[in-house]
Amino acid sequence: MSRLMSVDVECVANGRGHNDRCVAHVAVVDGESEEVVLDVKIRQTEEVFSYLEPITGLTAADFNESNPDNNIISMDELHVILKDILGDDVLLVGQGIDSDINWLSLRQGVHFEEKRDLAQDFKAFNPKYGRYNFHSLQATAETLLGVNMAGSHNPAIDAIVSIQLYKKFVRPGNKRTMKEAHKKLIRTRNRPSVAKQLDYQCDGVCMAKFFKKKCICGQH
């Protein structure tokens, strides 16, 4: 039986483009206990253009290595730790999990056996418009779990919520529950994302990777 785990990554900006990002904060959560087994900041080797604080909750103070509470490590150290706590028997769950896998250079057969993208699981067909609606992790958690996730992201909380959503709705045997979840998501009007509230810009950094009309960097 696969070990259930979730990993979540937050990035800071090292340029103005929506692709100009560096891994900054990483968390891993055990699926059965829902305990955080890793929560670290990553030492920045490039100049940070913006910490994207409204989204990440991070500031320069979080990367002050004189404060041991910041728990800062290098990417090389992170890779060693991830190889130890993950493994080829892991079912990796998360919202847009492919992005986290790519940021962390995780490999199937080494760091995980299977992966599950909650964005795909919770997409719901909207008969009014004849198309599928995709929902953010924030919207899905608030609608289905009653969890208030307003404000900046915390990767540990995101990973815990991902585990809870998977266990309650996605895990095999929950087909009826998932059908009701889709209906509820379609009926609920969600609050705008932080990126949308900021008009897809923060500190002069483009945040419109998935909204070409609002892109100010031309990296599409």
User: What interhelical angle do 155-165 and 137-144 show, nearest 10?
Assistant: 50
| 70-105 residue pLDDT tens | 999 999 999 999 999 999 999 999 999 999 999 999
| 44-61 residue pLDDT tens | 999 999 999 999 999 999
For 40, residues 6+ apart whose C-beta sits below 8 A from its C-beta are 25, 26, 27, 71, 72, 73, 78, 81
CA distance 43 to 213: 34
Residue 40 burial (CB count, 10 A): 19
Per-residue pLDDT of the chain (220 residues; tens, 9 = 90+): 789 999 999 999 999 999 999 999 999 999 999 999 999 999 999 999 999 999 999 999 999 999 989 999 999 999 999 999 999 999 999 999 999 999 999 999 999 999 999 999 999 888 888 888 889 999 999 999 999 887 788 999 999 999 999 999 998 777 778 889 999 999 888 778 889 999 999 999 999 998 999 999 999 7
Residue 133 in contact with residue 186, Cβ under 8 Å?
yes
Which pLDDT belongs to residue 149? 84
* CA pseudo-torsion sign 211, 213, 216, 220: positive
Which pLDDT belongs to residue 53? 96
CA distance 162 to 165: 5
Alpha helices in 104-219 (DSSP H): 118-121, 137-144, 155-165, 175-187, 194-197
Which pLDDT belongs to residue 105? 97
